[in-house]
A = this chain, B = another copy of it.
Amino acid sequence: MSSQFGVLFRVSTWGESHGGGVGAIIDGCPPRIPISADEIQADLDRRRPGQSEIVTQRTEEDRVEILSGVFDRLTLGTPLSLMVRNKDARPEAYREIESAFRPSHADYTYQAKYGIRNWQGGGRASARETVGRVAAAAVAKKVLRQKVEGFEVLAFVKSIHRIDAVVDPSTVKLSDVEQSIVRCPDPDAASRMIDWIKTMRKEGNSVGGVIECVVRGVPPGLGEPVFDKLEADLAKAMLSLPATKGFEIGSGFGSTRMTGAEHNDPFEMREGRVRTRTNFSGGVQGGISNGEDIIFRVAFKPTATIMRSQETVTTTGEATELAARGRHDPCVVPRAVPIVEAMAALVICDHYLRHQAIS
């Protein structure tokens, strides 16, 4: 069950970075949703490697195939099987990690857990696993756009290392995000981020950053009391992504620096419905959406793979040094933007169906 997500819109991903391919099954997709391989491809293309000079140069075509669940370009209500073949795998580049653990990677923990690992790449811990998530989420987004008027999910880079962007989440648009290769809608910050990432690459170093995500058009009432709160499932979704170290919703950690009198969101009537004047809650109260924009942030640590020699140990417990080779991102954050959107869409779609069940 480690590779399944969702209660009713249930996604199962499979695939190692080096092997036959990667993919996903969606079980529980409503019937008669129009979907084509091209629409899924468009989302995959956004996360694909090799898109710009600041990301890995691995060149995967990532061509998706819909193997089942769709007939005459409409979903059947039965499982969709989505597959992408691995093409540009170069396992020989990983030969040195057959016998040593890369620091802050999952090499050691996989070995400890399973007593075996696919050392020809990152295996399931590779960012390549997210192909299946993005493909499945393309379908989830289509379901939501069919069923929920005004639904939109949009993520962007909020900071890279120590460079912070200024972005208004209530007005930012997809075109603002996509105008820079770093996916930061603040042009000035974007330009400095790109330079800095290039510098880091040159130094064989890496950086991380923060992604902010806004989900618009979510009706009041999605999410469940207690354990399956909307923010709890979003937190799980985001911390399930490689390289993430933190999640906060609405006011987040900053809320701890405020008093209740400052922080409470007063209710008021606007456009004939209950609204909040401020949105420190981040669109969720008591685990359930309140109709305001859902806003959250995710922390991505600096990429563990750096082109410098690092101290580590071998699989047999000898001290050694290891320097990465291969093609790696000096900063995964720009490519993680569509992945954050994907996970948010999976959470919302699942909760939408769950709410339908009792309505």
Contacts and interface: CB of A to CB of B under 8 A. Distances in A.
Contact of A12 (B25, B253, B265, B355): B25
Interface string A202-216: 000111111000000
Contacts of A239: 229, 231-232, 234-236, 247, 249
Contact of A124 (B78, B252, B265, B305): B78
Q: Which size class do A's interface residues fall under?
A: 35 or more
A252 B242 CA distance: 13
A290 to B, nearest CB: 5
Nearest to A69: B14
A282 interface: yes
A270 to B, nearest CB: 10
B76 A265 contact: no
A200 interface: yes
Given A115-B31, A245-B252, A162 B76 contact: no
A338 B161 CA distance: 35
Contacts of A109: 220-221, 223, 284-290
A267 to B, nearest CB: 4
Nearest to A23: B81
A83 B205 CA distance: 40
A240 to B, nearest CB: 4
Interface in A17-59: 19-23, 25, 27-32
Contacts of A258: 208, 301-302
Given A12-B27, A76-B116, A103-B265, A255 B358 contact: no
Q: Which of A259, A277, A319 has the most CB of B within 10 A?
A: A259
A236 B245 contact: no
A291 to B, nearest CB: 7
A255 B159 CA distance: 12
A356 interface: yes
A145 interface: no
A299 B77 contact: no
Nearest to A249: B245
Contacts of A172: none
Give me the 5 closest cross-chain CB pairs, A-B, nearest first: A106-B286, A2-B224, A246-B248, A206-B260, A20-B67
7 contacts: A1-B27, A71-B120, A106-B285, A208-B256, A239-B249, A245-B256, A260-B304
